[in-house]
Amino acid sequence: MTVMPRPSILSVEPYVGGESKIPGVNRIVKLSSNEGAFGPPPGAIEAIRAMAGEAHRYPDGGAKAIREAIGARFGLDPARIVVGNGSDELLALLILAYGGEGTELVMSAHGFLMYEITGRWAGCRIIKVPEKNLTTDVDGMLAAVGPRTRLVFLANPNNPTGSILPQSEVDRLRAGLRDDILLVLDSAYAEYVTRPDYDAGAKLVDASGNTVMTRTFSKIFGMGGMRLGWCYAPAAVVDVLSRVRGPFNVNAAAMAAGIAALAEKGWVETSVAHNTEWRGKVSAGLTAAGIKVWPSEGNFVLADFGDAARAKAADEAMKQRGLIVRAMASYGLGSCLRITIGNAEECSMVIEALTAFMAQNG
């Protein structure tokens, strides 16, 4: 007999990240994980180097400096900010603290995969609500809520669809939820949004008392490898997180890099301008090639090839050119590939590869 975990653990399929190697292909362009187009800001690289000699020291368990830097940048009270080993960790801690056996977690059918993975291992029943036109359906979410619901997750913008809800819809969602339900607004891609009717969520956190906003340094600041995320939460939720998080959950290099990244002048503006320009160009180029591209407010686009076989063939054709994008079968979107907006050269390679592919397979 082998030792067995709790039964809910075995219902979880392991998260499979993007590959980073293709046999026989020397130059790889990795556009599968929505990493920032420009890598980390130079100041962050310096900060990581500078921390190396301090590696024997435990980091500041209270994460004071990084919380203050985030607070100053976003105009938020540092006491209401909690940092995590990536925002994934904070999402998991919230699920463990507020969910678990006997509770339900409500999410959009094609919402971010980690809500389901973590929710399942925590023992929550996962309720997936069909979207309308691949956009979260607020009425459907509200109708799916039951007496056991404790958590509602909304990625805004959503990964992998790229879709977004205007603030009025997010407010309507919150207003329709009971007070004993935590609404988690996952704003990992907030910086990339260009629509004016959007808000990343801090206002709603302040207004509601039972809403949390999560953010990350993995996207706009190109620091996915550092694992640095944060959330802005009501004081009671901050208190709960401080009980369940590990004492040194974020490492010293990540915090130093985060502070340096926030100080990097113009980084966000330049990155957003690049993303807006090339998200538009990639969308237009693929559309011109005969591929349906879902509207996106993130740093990626969802390209829909109409059927799974053609999406698979397109994935293969891109691999031949060293382009690694994300197949969407595990998200239940087998006809689609999710393509991160890389630098200008990388985006041009995507347009060229898929234009050539469609000329043969369209």
Q: Which residues contact 2 (CB under 8 A, 6 or more apart)?
A: none
Minimal distance, residue 284 CB to ligand PMP, in Å: 24
Cα 1 from chain centre: 39
Q: Which of 86, 119, 123, 162 binds ligand PMP (CB under 6 A)?
A: 86
Q: How far is residue 216's CA from residue 150's CA, in Å, rounded to a whole number?
A: 24
Q: How far is residue 350's CA from residue 325's CA, in Å, rounded to a whole number?
A: 10
Subset of 155-174 contacting ligand PMP (CB under 6 A): 155, 159
Of the listed pieces 81-89, 128-136, 204-212, 339-347, which binds ligand PMP according to CB under 6 A?
A: 81-89
From residue 27 to residue 66, the character string flagging contacts with ligand PMP as x (rule: CB under 6 A) and all else as - is -------x--------------------------------
Minimal distance, residue 2 CB to ligand PMP, in Å: 31
- Determine what percent of the chain falls in helix, strand and coil, rounding each to the nearest 5: 45, 15, 40
Q: Which of 18, 39, 71, 224 binds ligand PMP (CB under 6 A)?
A: 224
Nearer to ligand PMP, 155 or 261 (CB): 155
DSSP letter at 132 equals: B
Q: How many residues bind ligand PMP (CB under 6 A)?
A: 13
Nearer to ligand PMP, 169 or 186 (CB): 186
Q: How far is residue 275's CA from residue 145's CA, in Å, rounded to a whole number?
A: 36
Nearer to ligand PMP, 223 or 353 (CB): 223
Residue pair 232/186 in contact by the 8 Å Cβ criterion = no
Minimal distance, residue 37 CB to ligand PMP, in Å: 15
Residue pair 230/70 in contact by the 8 Å Cβ criterion = yes
User: Distances in Å between the alpha carbon of 202 and those of 120, 171, 212, 330?
Assistant: 28, 12, 8, 31
Count of positions (residues) in the chain: 362
Subset of 106-135 contacting ligand PMP (CB under 6 A): 112
Residue 207 amino acid letter: A
Minimal distance, residue 241 CB to ligand PMP, in Å: 15
Minimal distance, residue 159 CB to ligand PMP, in Å: 3
Minimal distance, residue 180 CB to ligand PMP, in Å: 24
| Residue 136 found at the interface with ligand PMP (CB under 6 A) | no
Query: What are phi and psi for residue 230, nearest 5 degrees?
Result: -150, 160
Residue nearest to ligand PMP (CB): 86
Cα 100 from chain centre: 22
Site for ligand PMP, rule CB under 6 A: 34, 86-88, 112, 155, 159, 186, 188, 216, 218, 224, 229
